[in-house]
Amino acid sequence: MKEGFRQSMSWLHTWAGLIFGWLLFAIFLTGTLSYFKEEINHWAKPEVPVRSLDTAASLALAQGYLQVHASGSPRWFINVPDAREPVLRVGWQDPGKPGRAGFMRKNLDPQTGAEVQARESRGGDFFYRFHFELQMGYPWGRWLSSIAAMVMFVGLISGIIVHKKLFKEFFTFRPGKGQRSWLDGHNALGVLVLPFHLMITYSSLVIFMTMVMPASIVSAYGDNTQALFKEMFPARDTPAPAGQPAPLVSLPSLYAQFEREQPGARLGRVEVLQAGDVNARVVMSRHNGDQVSTAVGAARTFDGVSGKRLDSGTATAPMVQASGTFYGLHMGQFAGPWLRWGYFLFGLGGTAIIGTGLIMWLGKRQLKHAKSGVQPMELRLVEVLNIASMAGLLLAIVSFLWANRLLPSTLLGRSDWEINSFFLMWGLALVHAALRPGRKAWAEQLAAGAILYALLPVLNGLTTDRGLWRSIPRGDWAMAGVDLTALATGLVLAWSLHRLHLKTRQPARRTLRTARTAEPIGTVLEGDAR
C-alpha cells in the first residue's frame, strides 16, 4: 500500500511537471530576472544620469514640477531615486482621462528637476509583469500563473515523497552517465534549493489569496471587497475633496518629520491626494528594502495642509503582517547585494530543476525507441517544446535587450516593439525547433544565444556611452552588472554547446572504432571465400 502511494505520487510528479513544465520554466526564469528589475530598468534607459542622492532636494524638485504640470490632478506619485535606480520618477492621474490611459509618467534629473528625455522602454518591468501576468489581460494571466504555482507546489511535495532518500541523493552525482547524471543533478538541485522554492511557491499563492481563495472574503464582505482593503489599509481611506483651495505643505518638511519618527529609515514612495485642496493628504511609504515585511510600519499619513500626522500608529493587524511578510520574502526587496545574488542563483536553480525534469522525461522515452530509429509524434512534440521553451526563451530575452539598443529612440510605440521582438524571436525559435532535428536545433539555438549574449556588452558600448570601460570606472555597477551577467551567460551557453558537441561525437567515434576493428575480419573472410 505504501509503495502504491509512492508510485501514485511519482505519476503525479512526472505528469504535472510535464504538462506545466514549459510554462513554469518561463515563469521561474523571468521571475529570477525580476530580482534585478531596477538594474535592468537603469540599463534600458542609458540616458538617465547617475547623480549623488539627496532625498529632500529630490522631493522639493518633484513637488515644484508637479505643481506646474499636474496642478489639477487628484493623485500624485513620487518615487525617489536610490542606488539601484538613480532616477526621480513622478506620475499623476489626468482627471480628463480615466483609467490607465490617463496616468502620466515622467523621469526627472534628481539634481536639476529637468525632464530626462530617455528612450521609451519597459525594461525590467516587462520581465516582472510577464512573470505573473504572462502578457495576458487581467485576470487571466494571474489565474494561469497561480494555477501553475499550485502545480509547482504539488510537484515539490510529491517530489519529497517520491525521493525518500532525498538527502542521501544530494551527495550523489555521477557525471558522464547519461540519464543517471541528469537525475543526479535534478535531485541535488532539488534538495539544495528546496526551502527557497517552498517559500517562493507558497508565498506566490498568498499574494493572490484574495483572487484564488475568495470564499471567506465573500462570506464576510459580499460584493464590497473594497471594504476589506479599507479595513486592512486605513491610511488609504481619505475624504473626498472639499472644494476649498489650500496650499500644499512642503514635502521636504514632512520628510524631516518622517525621519525623526523613524531614525535610519529610507523613503521609498510618496503619494499626494487632492493636492491644493483643504482635504489634501500625503502618504509617505518606507522603502521596501528596509525590512522584510512590507506592511509593518510601512507608511505614514499626514494632513496635506498642516503637516499633522493623521494615522494613529496602532499595531498592524496580524493577517496584514503575515501577508506583508510573505510578500516581502517573495519579492526579496529587503535583500542586500549578496543576498539578492543568492535569490538570483536559487531562482536559476529552480529553473534548472524544471529544465532537467523535462529533459529526463523525454530522454527516458527516447531510449525505448532508439533501436527502431523512429520517434513517435508525441515525443517529437515534447522535444520541439523543450527546445523552444528553454533555448528559445533565452533567445527571446536577449532579443529584447538587443532591440532596446537598436530600435530608434523616436520610434512610435517603441516599448511595444521591444516586447514584439521578444515574442517574434520566441515564435521563430519554435518554428526552427520544429524544422530541424533535435540535436541540431539545440546546437544552433545555443550557438545563437552564446553569440548574442556575449556581444551584448559590445553593442552597449558601441551605441551608448555606458560601455563596460566607462561604467566600471564611474562605479555604475547597475549598468555594468547587466553587461557582465550577459557575458557570463554567453560563456555558459558556449560551454553547454561544447558539451553537446562532445556527446554527439562520442557515439560517432564508437561507430568508427567498431568499423575499423571489423575491417581485418572482413578482409580475411573475403579471402577465404575466394
- At 231-266, the pLDDT tens digits run 666 555 567 788 888 999 999 999 999 888 888 888
Domain termination site, one of 305, 331, 357: 331
Same domain, 380 and 440: yes
More confident residue, 24 or 317: 24
Tens of pLDDT, residues 456-500: 999 999 999 999 999 999 888 889 999 999 999 999 999 989 888
Residue 209 — very low, low, confident or very high, per pLDDT cuts 50/70/90?
confident
Tens of pLDDT, residues 405-432: 999 988 999 999 999 999 999 999 999 9
Question: What pLDDT is recorded for position 54?
Answer: 86
Cα separation, 18 vs 12, whole angstroms:
10
The verdict on residue 79 lying in a domain is: yes
Q: Which long-range contacts (CB under 8 A, 24 or more apart) does 252-255 make?
A: 252/56, 252/57, 252/59, 252/60, 253/307, 254/282, 254/284, 254/302, 254/307, 255/55, 255/56, 255/59, 255/284
Helix (H) or strand (E) holding 283: strand 281-286
Tens of pLDDT, residues 53-66: 888 999 999 999 99
The verdict on residue 221 lying in a domain is: no
Backbone dihedral angles phi then psi of residue 177, each to the nearest 5 degrees? -110, 25
Return the minimum-mean-pLDDT range out of 88-102, 394-408, 512-526: 512-526
Specify the length of the chain in residues: 530
Same domain, 389 and 473: yes
Q: Which amino acid is at 450?
A: A
Question: What pLDDT is recorded for position 226?
Answer: 72
Total domains in the chain come to: 4
Residue 50 — very low, low, confident or very high, per pLDDT cuts 50/70/90?
confident
Same domain, 437 and 379: yes
Question: What would the DSSP string read from start to end of 216-236?
Answer: HHHHHHTT-HHHHHHHH-GGG
How far the first Cα of the chain sits from its last, in Å, is 67
Helix (H) or strand (E) holding 285: strand 281-286
Average pLDDT over the chain reads 83
The verdict on residue 223 lying in a domain is: no
Same domain, 416 and 513: yes
The verdict on residue 442 lying in a domain is: yes
The verdict on residue 473 lying in a domain is: yes
The verdict on residue 516 lying in a domain is: yes
Question: What pLDDT is recorded for position 521?
Answer: 32
Domain termination site, one of 67, 89, 120: 120
Cα separation, 477 vs 465, whole angstroms:
14
Domain with 345 in it: 1-45+121-207+335-368
Question: What pLDDT is recorded for position 505?
Answer: 63
Same domain, 111 and 131: no
Same domain, 340 and 196: yes
Same domain, 415 and 339: no
Using an 8 Å Cβ cutoff, are 40 and 482 in contact?
Answer: yes
Same domain, 412 and 509: yes
Please name the residue that has the C-alpha cell 517603441. 414
Q: Provide the angle, in degrees to the nearest 10, between the axes of the packed helices 377-406 and 414-435.
A: 150
Tens of pLDDT, residues 84-118: 888 899 999 887 776 666 788 888 988 888 888 88
36 Cα distance to chain centroid: 8
Same domain, 177 and 325: no
The verdict on residue 38 lying in a domain is: yes
Same domain, 388 and 457: yes
Output the nine-digit C-alpha cell for 364. 527516458
Sign of CA dihedral 248, 249, 250, 254: negative
Kindly report the pTM of this predicted structure. 0.85
3 state SS of 303: strand
Domain termination site, one of 59, 89, 120: 120
Same domain, 130 and 91: no
Cα separation, 221 vs 345, whole angstroms:
42
* Residues contacting 450, CB < 8 A, separation 6+: 490, 491, 493, 494, 497
The verdict on residue 33 lying in a domain is: yes
Q: Is the pLDDT of residue 32 over 90?
A: yes
Residue 512 — very low, low, confident or very high, per pLDDT cuts 50/70/90?
very low
Same domain, 259 and 355: no
Residue 519 — very low, low, confident or very high, per pLDDT cuts 50/70/90?
very low
Q: Which amino acid is at 412?
A: L
